[in-house]
A and B are shown apart, each in its own frame.
Chain A
Amino acid sequence: CMSGGDNDVDVLALAAETDPPDVLYNQGLANLEGGRLGEASKKFEAIDRQHPYTEWARKALIMQAFASYRGGNYDDAETAAKRYIALYPDSDDAAYAEYIVGLSHYRQIPDVTRDQKQAAYTATAMRALMERFPDTAYAEDAKSKLRIARDQLAGKEMLVGRYYLERRDYLAAINRFKNVVDVYPDTRQVEEALARLTESYYAMGLIREAQASASVLGQNFPDSPWYHDSYTLLKGHGLEPREGASGSWFAEATKKITGAS
């Protein structure tokens, strides 16, 4: 009476199929070595299904996350890793699970002209990893991935800033560039942000502001091509970069960049 339906397997057959977990685990590892990532995932998944919540299941879960990540299906990798963190928060592989989550997002970061939500997810995941597991081997690489993700987010701000600058929409451009200096002072984009600020202020005729942003750029990145361009821009019109007083936003920005504060 249970005929019909597209993939109906004989229910009873399913019950018999349980292999010892260690056998499955080693098959999984062998497949992983052999590069047959799909097969490896299936084996680890079988352990998790047939022997749920055992020690083998725990090891299988993290391996499944690793195999899916290596195989490039980042969503499965992320779900498996997140399940691992939920079930075994303080086991020794929790750090690696957090790392897999970060890496899965990291791999999906598109170029700056498109939605950067993956870069944002990468940043949150890597920051969480560094806070909860500061001294694991992954913290080091997480730091560099965090910086790259933040640089990507800053790059997006710069792109939109340049879009408005091209159309001489100075107000919109200035706010975007200032946002980069305020929120992402530790990324490579900050040099260009300061140079663009100099250009925007100067184009609007706010000379003192242009000088101040050029001087912040000069102080922090004296040999940067951006400072060179801003300098020539201002010098060309008889004005050297002049730093605002110590309490100024610009001084504030310098402290942020140099991390003195």
Chain B
Amino acid sequence: TSLTIQLASTGVAAAAVVNRIAVRGNKRVDADTVRGFISIKPGQNVTDADQDAAVRRLYSTGLFSNVRISQSGGTLTIDVEENQIVNQVLFQGNSKIKDQQLSAAVQTRPRGAYSQQVVDADVEEIKKAYVSIGRSDAVVTAQTQPIGEGRVNVIYNIQEGDRTKIGSISFVGNNAFSDARLKQVISLRETGILSFIQRDDVYDPDKLQSDEETLRRFYYNHGYADFRILSAVAELDPDQNSYFITFTVDEGERYAFGNVRIDSTIEGVDTEALYSQLDTTPGEVYSAKDVEDSLVNVTNALANKGFAFAQVTPRGDRDFTNHTIAIDYVIDQGPRAYIERIEIRGNTKTRDYVIRREFDISEGDAFNQVLIQRAKQRLEDLKYFTTVKISTAPGSEPDRVIVIVDVNEKATGEISIGGGYTTSGDSSGPVAEVGIQERNFLGRGQFIKVSAGVGTNSRSYQLSFTEPYFLGQRLAAGFDVYHTETSTDDYDVKRTGGDVRLSAPITEHLTATIAYNYKQESYGGDTGQTVENPDYPTDPDQYIDSTCSNPDPKSNLFDEGGNPLTAPSFTDSPIINEAICAGDYRTSSASYQFTYNTLDNNQDPRNGFVGSIGQEFAGIGGDAKYIKSTAKASYFNLLSEEWDVVGQLSGGAGNVSALGGDLRVFDNFFKGQDIVRGFDTRGIGPRQYGVAIGGENYANASAEATFPLPGINRDLGFRGAVFADAGSLWGSEFANEAGVEGTDFSLRASVGVGLIWASPFGPLRVNYAHPLKKEEFDDTQEFSFGFSSRF
């Protein structure tokens, strides 16, 4: 029996009750802290498993390089060897990447354990960080500096070297598109003068991969269905410190669409009606994008007809001999899934309903990818978010799905300070503008902007506000209030006014706007002019005032036509002078406008049409009584894909006719440089003694072609333009007044060239236009210059 007792005792001893825990070998870490880490408490009997758990726990703290637990009698002894503790992590010699970013990249942390492998891994990590910003030849070394009591400082020394450039990007096997054209398609750029600003010449393996994908899509959208990239290689030449990238491609044949069919496995689907939804017409060049658009349109049409779960999959079969691809759109029943919940996340500023209202589908509806895609597009168009990600998660039932909308918001408030120089408009010369704008006011999706502008002789203040979902409908209602003061050398004009507007999308491309506008104009009439006193012609300080109320005190003043003065001669035209003296003038009008816009890109259009037509009825109270109708349209077309030449045809016309009573001269159109380049701001149209008095009708047309400047790297953003303008301004009530000329229709025309630079500071355009047909009394101005920047 003693054996068993002995066995039992050792067994028991192994599980003896612990009444004291001793800690040995700890120099800096307190014994209590070590005891705190392990779950063994005095008075507890300790099994091997407890000991193992304690050892693992102590190792996991990372403070100890070696841990041993042993038990003799009632005391449990823990022997530890402490790791060196990192006191401070320092980076020396880095300026391109800040310390903060580097310390996020490295594993070694202050207060953490020091280990050589981790430090070596950190060195590699820092090198990788430098490669990603285009400095592949950076040299990184680590150094440790003990500071006593088992603590050490870790210092990473970095020599950053200089920027690794991209020497050249070349393509092999491309004969459909030139190297220059393909270089435009991919995002990587060869290093150029402006690269230090745009930073798009930094080589990075992920960028190369995404460029491969962009190239594929480009070729698939231009008919090359068999396009393959054989290799995309970037060699680093260390002594030149730059990369040489070569894409080797096999374009294959160019395909056109063969015949196109729609088949449906769901009965009750009228496939004939769906053909109109297709973008893929037989004979046309094959394009993957057209196929995708057709899928969306057909699915959408099916959803409209109640087939919410229909799924459309395209099947193409190639005809290798005559290079056509026949597409068969197969409609079949997709899974019957319903949306259980729409979870919106990440909106720390935007309110929930501002996002939810963009969804045409709601919880409980059939899961429809097209409508979700449309909502995603609408959310992105709001420009409140940097990214909008919509994902799905399984719902509580097999046929239920939870739609998760993850947005991350960007700052939508902008303080903009803009400068510019313009030769058009009343106030030509340098112009500055300061504005505060918030596009997502209080997260409610409302737009508000306050801005003030100042020019050499003009000041303007403006406030505007828009609520995009007025009364819950998709109606954008808003108002603007403005005050402008311009003082030309003859007279100054103060305009104060505002409008209340409501605009609504009728269809995807057509928008209608109605507005009420109020404007109060006052012309600096009362100050009048100071003229010589006839009684003392030589005495310089003897002056008399010619004012609106008493224009010719000494009745010795005559206008250009030799008739007695009817108003102070602010300008040479008595009509204008009388209008100035007419004093304050109120215009209260209602207006409507239809805009049709199918441009592919509003800032830099290459294809599409934009046009608007509208009318303004002045006469609801106020002094002005007229109907003003205007229309304008522009059509853009990419003339040559190869040379990126964009053609633009535009035209415009307008008429203003009085409603009872005669038209005030300032209600006329004042046209010039804005419709026919090469003329001054109010350069054409009816005049009296050389002063423009505006016209009741105008019409203009213009043809222009813009193209990248040959020989200059396209990335610098330079484009040339050649254009021809023609137009006229005619018709005036003052036709038979003395000294009035040019009131009947006479075409003015000009041809010209322009230089456009989309500079990093803002768009700039310089035009030189030479008038071909003009009237001798027109004011010409061959050279015009417009530059505006907002930073």
Which chain A residues have a beta carbon within 8 Å of chain B's beta carbons?
2-9, 11-12, 14-15, 48-55, 58, 87-88, 90-91, 110, 113-115, 117, 156, 159-160, 163-164, 166-167, 169, 171-172, 175-176
Among A58, A117, A163, which residue has its beta carbon within 8 angstroms of that of B353? A163
Q: Give every chain B residue within 8 A of A113 (Cβ-Cβ).
A: 351-353, 443
Interface residues of B in 336-365 (CB under 8 A from A): 340-341, 344-353, 356, 362-364
Q: Give every chain B residue within 8 A of A117 (Cβ-Cβ).
A: 345
Interface residues of B in 307-356 (CB under 8 A from A): 340-341, 344-353, 356
Closest 9 CB pairs of A and B: A15-B147, A172-B363, A171-B364, A113-B351, A53-B29, A2-B92, A172-B362, A52-B111, A169-B362
Whether A15 pairs with B352 at a CB distance below 8 angstroms is: no
Q: Is B174 an interface residue (CB 8 A)?
A: no
Whether B157 pairs with A163 at a CB distance below 8 angstroms is: no
Known contacts being A113-B351, A114-B351, A114-B352, is A52 close to B85, with CB within 8 Å?
A: yes
Q: Is B303 an interface residue (CB 8 A)?
A: no
- Complex Cα distance, B340 from A171, in Å, reads 10
What total of chain B residues lie within 8 Å of the partner, measured CB to CB? 49
- Complex Cα distance, B30 from A49, in Å, reads 15
Q: Is B98 an interface residue (CB 8 A)?
A: yes
Q: How far is the CB of A9 from chain B (nearest CB, A)?
A: 8
Whether A115 pairs with B362 at a CB distance below 8 angstroms is: no
Whether A49 pairs with B87 at a CB distance below 8 angstroms is: yes
Q: Give every chain B residue within 8 A of A14 (Cβ-Cβ).
A: 87-88, 147, 153
Whether A7 pairs with B352 at a CB distance below 8 angstroms is: no
Q: How far is the CB of A102 from chain B (nearest CB, A)?
A: 20
**A-B CB contact pairs (8 Å), 13 listed:** A2-B92, A3-B93, A9-B90, A11-B90, A15-B145, A53-B63, A87-B61, A115-B348, A160-B352, A160-B356, A164-B362, A167-B362, A175-B363
Q: Is B556 an interface residue (CB 8 A)?
A: no
Interface residues of B in 135-164 (CB under 8 A from A): 145, 147-148, 151, 153, 155, 157-158
Q: Give every chain A residue within 8 A of B70 (Cβ-Cβ).
A: none
Q: Is B541 an interface residue (CB 8 A)?
A: no
Q: Give every chain B residue within 8 A of A87 (Cβ-Cβ).
A: 37, 61
Whether B110 pairs with A49 at a CB distance below 8 angstroms is: yes
Known contacts being A53-B63, A114-B347, is A58 close to B33, with CB within 8 Å?
A: yes
- Complex Cα distance, B90 from A9, in Å, reads 9
Which chain B residues have a beta carbon within 8 Å of chain A's beta carbons?
28-30, 32-33, 36-37, 39, 61, 63, 85, 87-88, 90-95, 98-99, 110-111, 145, 147-148, 151, 153, 155, 157-158, 340-341, 344-353, 356, 362-364, 443, 472
Whether A2 pairs with B145 at a CB distance below 8 angstroms is: no
- Complex Cα distance, B92 from A87, in Å, reads 32
Whether B33 pairs with A4 at a CB distance below 8 angstroms is: no
Whether B363 pairs with A164 at a CB distance below 8 angstroms is: yes
Whether A8 pairs with B92 at a CB distance below 8 angstroms is: yes
Known contacts being A7-B99, A8-B92, A14-B153, is A55 close to B364, with CB within 8 Å?
A: no
- Complex Cα distance, B339 from A176, in Å, reads 13
Whether B352 pairs with A159 at a CB distance below 8 angstroms is: yes
Whether B362 pairs with A11 at a CB distance below 8 angstroms is: no
Known contacts being A53-B63, A164-B363, A171-B363, is A6 close to B346, with CB within 8 Å?
A: no
Q: Give every chain B residue within 8 A of A176 (Cβ-Cβ).
A: 363
Q: How far is the CB of B604 from chain A (nearest CB, A)?
A: 36
- Complex Cα distance, B102 from A7, in Å, reads 13
- Complex Cα distance, B91 from A176, in Å, reads 53
Known contacts being A5-B92, A48-B111, A115-B348, is A55 close to B363, with CB within 8 Å?
A: no
Q: How far is the CB of A256 from chain B (nearest CB, A)?
A: 18
Q: Give every chain B residue within 8 A of A52 (Cβ-Cβ).
A: 28, 85, 111, 151
Q: How far is the CB of A132 from chain B (nearest CB, A)?
A: 14
Whether B91 pairs with A5 at a CB distance below 8 angstroms is: yes
Q: Give every chain B residue within 8 A of A7 (Cβ-Cβ).
A: 99
Other A-B pairs beyond A12-B145, A50-B87, 8, CB < 8 Å: A15-B148, A53-B33, A53-B63, A113-B352, A113-B353, A114-B349, A114-B350, A167-B362
Whether A114 pairs with B443 at a CB distance below 8 angstroms is: yes
Whether B36 pairs with A91 at a CB distance below 8 angstroms is: yes
Whether A2 pairs with B99 at a CB distance below 8 angstroms is: no
- Complex Cα distance, B109 from A52, in Å, reads 12
Q: How far is the CB of B322 from chain A (nearest CB, A)?
A: 53
Closest to A91 in B: B36
Q: How far is the CB of A181 from chain B (nearest CB, A)?
A: 16
Q: Give every chain A residue within 8 A of B363 (Cβ-Cβ).
A: 164, 169, 171-172, 175-176
- Complex Cα distance, B85 from A23, in Å, reads 22
Most A-side CB within 10 Å, residue of B344, B348, B363 = B363
Among B33, B39, B151, which residue has its beta carbon within 8 angstroms of that of A55? B33
- Complex Cα distance, B94 from A7, in Å, reads 10
Q: Give every chain A residue within 8 A of B340 (Cβ-Cβ).
A: 175
Known contacts being A115-B346, A164-B363, A176-B363, is A6 close to B351, with CB within 8 Å?
A: no
Q: How far is the CB of A104 from chain B (nearest CB, A)?
A: 16
Whether A110 pairs with B348 at a CB distance below 8 angstroms is: yes
Closest to B338 in A: A171
Q: Give every chain A residue within 8 A of B95 (Cβ-Cβ).
A: 4-6
Q: How far is the CB of B296 from chain A (nearest CB, A)?
A: 25
